[in-house]
Chain A
Amino acid sequence: MMASAAPVLGPVDPYLIPALDGVAYGLLLFVAASGLVFCFGVANILNLAHGTLYAIGAYTAAALLDGGWAMLLVALGVGVVASAGAGGLLAGLLAPVARRDHLTQALLTFGVALAGGSLLVTAFGPDSLPVRIPAALDGTVVLAGHRYAAYRLVFIGVAALLALLLYLAVARTRAGMLVRAAVDDADMVACLGVNPARIRLGVLTVAGALAGAAGVLGAPIIGPAPSTADNVLLLSLVVVVLGGLGSVRGTLLAALAVGEIQSLGVALAPTAAPFLLFAAMAVVLAVRARGLSGRWLRLRPRLGGTA
């Protein structure tokens, strides 16, 4: 869960800090959930082990960070490589069942999540672990009269940069073009000579890398604990449901919305807090009546063609 916010001194505008927290939380969710969106949109795999990939990054951060900048970079590298490797491994495990139904694939990824979670608990113990962020960031800065955790402020910047890079990668590179094409029509991409197995491997590896990066950088916000994987998976799923598969922008907006609901919403309406995510899902699904976006409608059986 969220680490406690920095002590707030001075005149307190009660909603500024939660709102800022919501941005940090939302950007973290964006980086974590975008991997899930890729898996689902491109390879059409519901990856229930996605939260575990995040947890690998978070545990890496807890194990390696010692308060210095060098170790932050090392942890980032190790975490990204480890999670990307785990994603690649998952792609390998999925290869034999690639032509089976979605249910089989989802159950397989859930098995991997169960086993992976168990291995992480065996390796790191059943308690939630503290994460030591670089000493220079371990303080507060004054922001419009409020004290705010420096790390979160920096995190907002870094995550925004990541989001921008991701957007550019999807919009401007050849790999991004393939991703967009595969979301649109995977069969056509395969007919054009792109091997679906390679797409799957690539997508799961990239998803792992993104989840790993989110895990290492986000460990001070959603820290490593046995419940982390479930927690991140759930929030990422809600982001996917809210944002659809159509665009990076949709995912970003959905992630920011979930972040704000989880922090600002809880501050504004503590009694309704347990149901806010439900309500958000219901509202979005109702507004976009019968689905989440054009992309979702297309996932349904094509009635016109066969009936």
Chain B
Amino acid sequence: MTPAGRRWLFRAGGAGLLGYAVAVPWLVDTYTTSVFARTLVLALVGVSVALLTGLAGLPTLGQTGPFAAGAYGSALVAMHVSSVGVVQVLTGALVGGLFALLTVPLVVYARGVVVLMITLAIGELTVTAASRWSSVTGGTDGLAGIPPIQPVWGMAALDGDRARYLYTLVVVGVVIAAVVMVLRTPAGLLLRASRDDEGRMRASGHRVTGYLAVAFTAAGAVAGVAGSLLVTAQQYVSPADFGFDVSALLLLGVVIGGATSIGGAVAGTALVIAVRDWLSGLLPGHAPLLLGGLFVLTAYLFPRGVAGFSTDVARLLRSRSGERTGRALRGGDRAGYGHRDRPLPAEVGATTGRPTGGSGADS
């Protein structure tokens, strides 16, 4: 298949999925619609995880932090200040971004698995804080009775799962489009370059740490918007929405989706969340066991580390269409989430050849 043909295939597939997403509320019952709305929200958090994990090279287990901050922020605004959607979404973005900005110094100086650990601690501490700071967050009971939302001034309040789903879909679509557009500017290029060869970027006078700080804050704002949408979608928010398992599922989804692609992150997260919901419906009480098995299986099934999966697919497609494969193969080792801290001796030989091209997995 030619690259142009492949692009058309992707576009057709994307358009089909988008059409399905718009039509969903008329195709399924209201409960499933609300589940879909929540899945969309988590997919948006997945996008923020992919921004950091795949594009900035900071693998994160802590995006539930800004997600929670944005959710509580906009829930409080919804209850006490304004029922206008624009205000709530902006509040979510602001609070999420501010939260991320405050945690920037904890994260951006570290790399690799250390980031994973620090972000995990941040996410967990946020949940702890949310469940203990009862005067503001309602403690473990959460905040309920959030009034219905008006998308913009003068519009009628949305009632019903269908309207809330469509509102969520629109906002998620707008944010994702904005993220994709920003990534196509030189800003996205700088981020990828910093991930692929930090030393070289620094040597050329780029302030890599500053770029990472901006990316981290922006990802926090995206997660904060998702938080605001979570409040709208389920009209309720509690610490249980932001647990450790949510972070891990998001990371798994992003990794399955290829880590570097925004579309992949949406698809991967949606898939993982759907599997979780399906499993817990199928086998109440035993879902974590199967889900755990799924994590282990995923780790085994992907041939060169889960992050290399999309590269493998790309390579397969390229070899079918007779393109060179070497670059995609070598680029894939570094494509996922930045540098390995310390390769095992057996791989030293394999990784010393620095890839000359950019990563083949970005799309």
Inter-chain CA distance A12–B132, complex, in Å, is 27
For the complex, is A93 an interface residue (Cβ under 8 Å from B)? yes
A291 and B110 within 8 A (CB): yes
Q: Decide if B111 is an interface residue (CB 8 Å cutoff).
A: yes
B220 within 8 Å of A by Cβ?
no
Contacts of A116 in B (CB 8 A): 292
B113 touches A96 (CB 8 A): no
B326 at interface, CB cutoff 8 A: no
Taken residue by residue from 97 to 111, chain A's Cβ proximity to chain B (1 for < 8 Å, 0 otherwise) reads as 111111111111011
Smallest CB separation, A168 vs chain B (Å): 27
Chain A contacts for B277, CB-based, 8 A = none
* CB atoms of B305 and A299 under 8 A apart: no
Give Cα distance in the complex from A93 to B61, angstroms.
Answer: 22
Contact, CB under 8 Å: B336 / A301: no
> Given the complex, which residues of B lie within 8 Å of A73, measured CB to CB?
none
Given the interface pairs A114-B291, A299-B341, the reply to whether A107 lies near B255 with Cβ below 8 Å is: yes
User: What per-residue 1/0 map shows which CB atoms of A206-222 lie under 8 Å from chain B?
Assistant: 00000000000000000
The segment out of B119-127, B173-181, B210-218 that lies at the interface is B119-127
Chain A, Cβ-Cβ closest to B128:
A274
Interface size class of chain B, counting residues whose CB lies under 8 Å from the partner chain: 35 or more
Judge whether B198 and A301 touch: CB under 8 Å.
yes
- Asked if A303 and B199 sit within 8 Å, CB to CB, the answer is yes
Instruction: Flag whether B244 is at the interface (Cβ < 8 A).
Output: yes
CB distance from B304 to the nearest CB of A (A): 7
**Please, which residue of chain B has its CB at the minimum distance from the CB of A278?**
B125
B344 contacts across to A, CB distance below 8 A: 98-99, 186-187, 190, 196
Asked if A234 lies at the interface with its beta carbon under 8 angstroms from chain B, I say yes
Pick the contact of B288: A107, A115, A299 (CB < 8 A): A115
Write out, one digit per residue, whether chain B residues 109-140 have a CB within 8 A of any chain A CB (1) or not (0). 11111101110111011001100110000000
Closest to A113 in B: B292
Q: How far is the CA of A274 from the CA of B129 in the complex (A)?
A: 5
- The B interface, classified by DSSP as helix, strand, loop or mixed, is helix
Given A99-B346, A115-B292, A186-B344: A107 touches B200 (CB 8 Å cut-off): no
CA A115 to CA B291, docked complex, whole Å: 7
CB pair A238 B121 closer than 8 Å: yes
A230 touches B129 (CB 8 A): no
In the complex, what residue of chain B is closest to A126 when comparing beta carbons? B285
- A303: contacting residue among B53, B198, B348, CB under 8 A: B198
**What are 20 A-B interface contacts by the 8 Å CB criterion?**
A44-B341, A48-B120, A93-B296, A96-B300, A107-B251, A107-B299, A111-B294, A111-B295, A114-B291, A114-B295, A122-B289, A186-B345, A187-B344, A196-B346, A234-B128, A237-B117, A281-B106, A282-B105, A286-B105, A300-B111
Return the chain A residue nearest B288 by Cβ: A118
Told that A99-B347, A301-B111 touch, could you supply 15 new A-B pairs with CB distance under 8 A? A48-B248, A102-B113, A103-B306, A103-B336, A107-B248, A107-B299, A111-B294, A115-B293, A118-B292, A196-B344, A234-B125, A275-B129, A277-B125, A278-B125, A299-B114
| Also in contact, A107 and B295, with CB within 8 A (given A101-B305, A114-B288, A307-B202) | yes
B342 CB–A CB distance under 8 Å: yes
A205 to B345, CA, bound (A): 22
- Is the CB–CB distance between A241 and B255 below 8 Å? no
B353 to chain A, nearest CB (A): 12
A217, chain B: closest CB distance, angstroms: 24
Give B243-289 interface residues, CB cut-off 8 Å to A. Answer: 243-245, 248, 251-252, 255, 285-289
Chain B residues, Cβ within 8 Å of A273: 132
Please count the residue pairs between chain A and chain B whose beta carbons lie under 8 angstroms apart in the complex. 190
Digitize A272-307: 1 where CB-to-B-CB distance is under 8 Å, 0 elsewhere: 011101100110011000110000100111010011
Q: Which residues 186-214 in A have Cβ within 8 Å of B in the complex?
A: 186-187, 190-191, 196
Interface of A is mostly: helix
Bound: A111/B245 CA distance, A: 10
Complex Cα distance A100/B344, Å?
10
CB atoms of A112 and B296 under 8 A apart? yes
Asked if A224 CB lies within 8 Å of chain B CBs, one says: no
Give CA–CA (A97, B118) in the complex, Å.
23
Contact between A103 and B288 (Cβ–Cβ < 8 Å)? no
The reply to whether the CB of B153 lies closer than 8 angstroms to some CB of chain A is no
Residue numbers in B under 8 Å from A303 (CB-CB): 198-199, 202
Task: Give the CA-CA distance A123 to B137 in the complex, in Å.
Answer: 34
Q: Is B203 an interface residue (CB 8 A)?
A: yes
Inter-chain CA distance A166–B336, complex, in Å, is 37
Residues of B within 8 A of A300 (CB): 109-111, 341
Residues of A within 8 Å of B114, CB to CB, are: 296, 299
